[in-house]
């Protein structure tokens, strides 16, 4: 079937105004690019920050979206790794320089020179997107596009965060914040053989965490640190909650030499009493997005069907309503836009 000449894209023209659904020319893959016909595209809270201008992109107009999955339909002249028909996905790291210290040591997501999908380059809220041959992630056939889309950012970020705690099979990890990332993290941690303590302010969200395999549930209140300690404490803590209130709880919940991984980005500062960290040999690390190897490991885990998102499927044409619902906190789990004409 010949590829059409134009596509529908949701374009951000002005911050905090509805995205404009317009007909524009389909991009043509040049150099090492491949053209993808998008099947599913996830909505992330980072899109809300970009939409509002709180995380302003280098320029507008912009097609946002960094959880895109689809099939390769055309190849640029220097694309050699992917072939027509391959199902691939992209997350926040569109491509990086590939030759700096960070890129060469598995830290491409910290490359000072990386392009961010749907931020510094055009993203996946469109029927087609061009991706770089070496940077697109191959999606195993066992995962549907709808399930795969949120793995590209939320799932991969959750996986990379758990891995950074450095915990070993049988250790206990306390996961703070049972939103989309937390829900993925619980399932991933269980697949890694960890004991999981889920922490949230909402009993409903904790019930969901338990249904996803969490061993223990702790309400995030003033006694939370004490309660986690009573459960044996944590060898690693991961914070997905966008609030600073989890910080003192994590410090109290940590066993000696535990590692705290910060992934959620609350606006406030997190203070600590130096002795508390030094005396117990704690480590605090940040984690942002993931590299391609972490993505591959997550996709291999998920290919067994064992990592399921709580997914709210929406037609692409309803993207503005979906973005508003996410902004207003009315969404449970992850929103995935389904593109018309795909199965
Ligand atoms: Zn994201
Ligand atoms: Zn680099």
- What is the whole-number distance in angstroms between the Cα of residue 67 and the centre of ligand 1? 7
**Sequence-distant (≥ 6) Cβ neighbours of residue 334 within 8 angstroms:** 42, 43, 44, 150, 154, 180, 309, 310, 311, 312
Q: Which ligand is nearest to the CA of 104?
A: 2
Together in a domain, 320 and 276: no
How far, in Å, from the CA of 97 to the mean position of ligand 2? Answer: 4
Same domain, 121 and 162: no
How much is the pLDDT for 258? 98
Which ligand number lies closest to the CA of residue 45?
1
**315 and 262 housed in the same domain:** no
Per-residue model confidence (pLDDT) at position 4:
86
Which structural domain range is residue 73 located in? Answer: 6-153+290-338
- What is the token pair recorded at 322? 């979906």
| Domain match, 298 and 333 both | yes
Q: Are residues 163 and 64 in the same domain?
A: no
The larger pLDDT score, comparing residue 332 to residue 105, is at: 105
- CA pair distance 154, 158, nearest whole angstrom: 6
Contact 42, 156 (CB under 8 A): no
Domain of 261, CATH number, reads 3.40.50.720
Query: Which structure tokens are listed for 265?
Result: 């980005």
For residues 177-194, give the mean pLDDT: 95
Q: Is residue 39 domain-shared with residue 144, that is, in the same domain?
A: yes
Is 251 domain-assigned? yes
Which pTM value belongs to this model?
Answer: 0.95
The bound ligand whose nearest atom lies closest to the alpha carbon of 157 is: 1
**HEC states along the chain?**
CCCCCEEEEEEECCCCCCCEEEEEECCCCCCCEEEEEEEEEEECHHHHHHHHCCCCCCCCCECCCCCEEEEEEEECCCCCCCCCCCEEEECCEEECCCCCHHHHCCCHHHCCCCEEECCCECCCCECEEEEECCCCEECCCCCCHHHHHHHCCHHHHHHHHHHHCCCCCCCEEEEECCCHHHHHHHHHHHHCCCEEEEEECCHHHHHHHHHCCCCEEEECCCCHHHHHHHCCCEEEEEECCCCCCHHHHHHHHEEEEEEEEECCCCCCCCCCCHHHHHCCCCEEEECCCCCHHHHHHHHHHHHCCCCCCCEEEEEHHHHHHHHHHHHCCCCCCEEEEECCCCC
Distance (Å, whole) CA 175 – CA 217: 10
**Whether 119 and 179 share a structural domain:** no
- Residue 1 maps to a domain: no
How far apart are the CA of 337 and the centre of ligand 2, in A?
31
Q: Quick one: 126 and 179 in the same domain?
A: no
Ligand lying nearest the CA atom of residue 112: 2
95 domain residue, yes or no: yes
Q: pLDDT-derived band of residue 196, with 50, 70 and 90 as boundaries?
A: very high
pLDDT average, residue stretch 96-115: 97
Cα 55 to averaged position of ligand 2 atoms, centre (Å): 22
Ligand 2 center–CA 105 separation, angstroms: 10
Q: Do 26 and 149 sit in the same domain of this protein?
A: yes
The sign one gets for the Cα dihedral 123, 30, 155, 240 is negative
Whole-number Å distance, alpha carbon 335 to ligand 1 midpoint, is 11
- pLDDT, residue 342, reads 63
Residue 134 shares a structural domain with residue 160: no
Work out the mean pLDDT of the chain and round it to a whole number: 95
**CA of 104 relative to ligand 2 center, distance in Å:** 7
How remote is the CA of residue 92 from the centroid of ligand 1, in Å? Answer: 6
Q: Which ligand is nearest to the CA of 154?
A: 1
Of the bound ligands, which one is closest to the alpha carbon of residue 98?
2
Boundary of a domain, candidates 268, 286, 304: 286
Closest-approaching ligand to the CA atom of 44: 1
Give me ligand 2 centre to Cα 343, in Å. Answer: 37
Q: What is the whole-number distance in angstroms between the Cα of residue 232 and the centre of ligand 1?
A: 33
Res 343 pLDDT > 80: no
What distance in angstroms lies between residue 218's CA and the mean position of ligand 1's atoms?
Answer: 27
Quick one: pLDDT at residue 251?
Answer: 96
Q: Give the ligand whose atoms come closest to the C-alpha of residue 95.
A: 2
What confidence tier does 1 reach under pLDDT thresholds 50, 70, 90? Answer: low
Same domain? 261 vs 193: yes
Asked, for residue 106, whether it belongs to a domain, the answer is yes
pLDDT tens-digit readout, 280-321: 999 999 999 999 999 999 999 999 878 988 899 999 999 999
Among residues 286, 306, 324, which one ends one of the domains?
A: 286
Give the total number of structural domains in the chain: 2
The ligand with the least distance to the CA atom of 180 is 1
Question: With bands split at pLDDT 50, 70 and 90, how would you rate the model's confidence at 240?
Answer: very high
Mean per-residue pLDDT for 232-243?
96
165 and 224 share one domain: yes
């Amino acid at each position: 079937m010949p590829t059409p000449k134009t596509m529908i894209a949701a374009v951000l023209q002005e911050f905090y105004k509805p995205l404009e659904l317009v007909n524009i020319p389909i991009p043509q893959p040049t150099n090492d690019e491949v053209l993808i016909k998008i099947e599913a595209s996830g909505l992330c809270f980072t899109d809300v920050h970009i939409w509002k201008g709180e995380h302003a992109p280098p320029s507008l107009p912009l097609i946002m979206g960094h959880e895109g999955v689809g099939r390769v339909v055309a190849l640029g002249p220097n694309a050699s790794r992917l072939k027509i028909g391959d199902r691939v996905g992209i997350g926040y790291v569109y491509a990086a320089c590939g030759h700096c210290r960070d890129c060469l040591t598995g830290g491409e997501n910290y490359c000072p020179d990386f392009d961010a999908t749907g931020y510094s380059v055009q993203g996946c809220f469109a029927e087609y997107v061009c991706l770089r041959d070496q940077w697109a992630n191959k999606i195993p056939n066992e995962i549907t596009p709808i399930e795969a889309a949120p793995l590209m950012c939320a799932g991969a970020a959750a996986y990379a965060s758990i891995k950074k705690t450095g915990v070993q099979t049988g250790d206990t990890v306390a996961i703070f914040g049972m939103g989309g990332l937390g829900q993925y993290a619980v399932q991933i941690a269980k697949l890694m053989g960890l004991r999981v303590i889920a922490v949230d302010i909402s009993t409903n969200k904790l019930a969901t965490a338990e249904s996803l395999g969490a061993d223990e549930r702790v309400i995030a209140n003033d006694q939370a640190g004490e309660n986690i300690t009573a459960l044996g404490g944590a060898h690693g803590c991961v914070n997905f909650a966008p609030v600073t209130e989890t910080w003192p709880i994590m410090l109290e919940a940590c066993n000696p030499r535990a590692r705290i991984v910060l992934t959620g980005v609350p606006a406030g500062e997190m203070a600590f009493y130096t002795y508390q960290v030094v005396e117990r040999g704690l480590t605090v690390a940040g984690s942002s997005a993931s590299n391609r190897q972490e993505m591959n490991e997550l996709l291999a885990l998920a290919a067994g069907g064992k990592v399921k998102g709580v997914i709210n499927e929406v037609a692409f044409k309803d993207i503005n309503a979906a973005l508003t619902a996410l902004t207003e906190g009315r969404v449970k789990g992850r929103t995935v836009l389904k593109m018309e004409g795909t199965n």
